[in-house]
Chains A and B, each alone.
Chain A
Amino acid sequence: EVQLLESGGGLVQPGGSLRLSCAASGFTFSSYAMSWVRQAPGKGLEWVSAISGSGGSTYYADSVKGRFTISRDNSKNTLYLQMNSLRAEDTAVYYCAKDLFLDYGDYSYFDYWGQGTLVTVSS
């Protein structure tokens, strides 16, 4: 059974940093690209970032480029999102999502999602 378990969310002040983790199990982690998708309170879904199965290619939404860094440790079956220079508009539930393919592309979509971790940016 595929499981994705996010952790690391919490309350952080504007300008602060946070690192999210997503522990994966039930599939060959290194064979699939992974993404982070967020959802602000009462709002819709927003793709944030993606990483290829090998970890060699990374992709970011314009809204987080230069502030967030996606990475993965295939030996630990874990996906990460390092979030720096956080802003109030980054407040959201952050989901990790499994792609259907090894590499992220215009064919990407998501067959499994974690339950999400809430990040609140506020003073």
Chain B
Amino acid sequence: SYELTQPPSVSVSPGQTARITCSGDALPKQYAYWYQQKPGQAPVLVIYKDSERPSGIPERFSGSSSGTTVTLTISGVQAEDEADYYCQSADSSGTYPYVVFGGGTKLTVL
């Protein structure tokens, strides 16, 4: 089955830049999406179609893609950005598309 691979954890100090990667063989052909999830809350979409930012999401959140890896970058990290982050894409190799999530990355703001 198709997998998206994320680092389990990333730590940064306030004001620094956090980069969270997501790797998958199909990412050159499929868009990636990123969700932020804080404890006890539902996920929130922060990046769509690799690098687009939904309205209401701060400009410090950005996304990029290169080959089989997509990256979520948070510039000038703030304490409120501490959360779990999940990438999402799709596996189209089967009978029908299969939404796939990465295992998640816990962002700790030191």
Query: Which chain A residues have a beta carbon within 8 Å of chain B's beta carbons?
Result: 35, 37, 44-47, 50, 59, 61-62, 95, 100, 104-111, 113-116
Cβ contact of B98, chosen from A45, A47, A111, cutoff 8 A: A47
- Per DSSP, chain A at the interface is loop
CB contacts (< 8 Å) of A111 on chain B: these are 45, 48, 54
How distant is B59 from chain A, measured CB to nearest CB, in Å?
19
Query: Which chain B residues have a beta carbon within 8 Å of chain A's beta carbons?
Result: 1, 30-31, 33, 35, 37, 41-45, 48, 54, 86, 88, 90-92, 96-104
- In the bound assembly, the distance between CA atoms of A50 and B97 in angstroms comes to 10
Tell me if A110 and B45 are in contact (CB < 8 A): yes
- In the bound assembly, the distance between CA atoms of A62 and B102 in angstroms comes to 17
- Of all chain A residues, which has the CB nearest B101? A45
Tell me if A113 and B42 are in contact (CB < 8 A): yes
Tell me if A108 and B99 are in contact (CB < 8 A): yes
- Of all chain A residues, which has the CB nearest B94? A62
Asked, given contacts A107-B31, A108-B90, whether A116 binds B98 with beta carbons under 8 Å apart, the answer is no
Tell me if A47 and B99 are in contact (CB < 8 A): yes
- Of all chain A residues, which has the CB nearest B96? A59
CB contacts (< 8 Å) of B45 on chain A: these are 109-111
- In the bound assembly, the distance between CA atoms of A105 and B101 in angstroms comes to 15
CB contacts (< 8 Å) of B98 on chain A: these are 47, 61
How distant is B55 from chain A, measured CB to nearest CB, in Å?
10
